[in-house]
Homo-oligomer: A and B are copies of this chain.
Amino acid sequence: MRTAICDMLGIELPLLAFSHCRDVVAAVTNAGGFGVLGAVTHTPEQLEHELAWIDEQVGGKPYGVDIIVPEKYEGQGEALSLDDLAARIPPEHHAFVDRLLREHGIDTTDRAELAGRGMNISDRIGERLLDVVFRHPVKLVANALGVPPRYMIDRARAEGVSVAALVGAKEHALRQVEAGVDILVAQGTEAGGHCGEVTTMVLVPEVVEAVKDVREVPVLAAGGIVTGRQMAAAIALGAAGAWTGSVWLTTEEAETAPYTVRKMVAATSRDTVRSRGRTGKPSRQLASAWTRAWDGPDSPGTLPLPLQSLVSEPALRHLDTLAEKGDRGAQELATYWVGQGVGLMNRVRPAKDVVYEIAEDFAEAAERLTGAIGD
Contacts and interface: CB of A to CB of B under 8 A. Distances in A.
Interface of A: 1-3, 14, 169-171, 188-190, 196-203, 205-206, 209, 223-225, 227, 229-230, 232-238, 268-270, 339-341, 343-344, 363, 365-366, 368-375
B203 A269 contact: yes
A236 B200 contact: no
A13 to B, nearest CB: 10
A209 B170 contact: no
B237 A229 contact: yes
A204 to B, nearest CB: 9
Give the most central of A1, A225, A270, A375: most B CB within 10 Å.
A270
Given A343-B170, A365-B237, A368-B238, A373 B270 contact: no
B190 A201 contact: yes
A256 to B, nearest CB: 20
B197 A199 contact: no
Chain copies in the assembly? 2
B205 A199 contact: no
A232 to B, nearest CB: 4
Contacts of A2: 371-372, 374-375
A233 B362 CA distance: 12
Contacts of A198: 190, 269-270, 340, 343
Contacts of A363: 373
Nearest to A241: B372
Given A169-B270, A269-B170, A270-B197, A235 B368 contact: yes
17 contacts: A1-B375, A3-B372, A188-B201, A190-B199, A197-B270, A198-B269, A201-B224, A202-B269, A202-B340, A202-B343, A203-B269, A205-B229, A205-B230, A232-B236, A233-B233, A238-B368, A370-B370
A211 to B, nearest CB: 14
Give the most central of A171, A209, A233, A369: most B CB within 10 Å.
A233
Contact of A344 (B199, B206, B269): B206
Nearest to A228: B236
B200 A14 contact: no
Contacts of A340: 198-199, 202
B1 A373 contact: yes
Contacts of A229: 205, 236-238
A59 to B, nearest CB: 25
Given A206-B343, A269-B170, A344-B206, A235 B372 contact: yes
Contact of A188 (B199, B209, B339): B199
A106 to B, nearest CB: 30
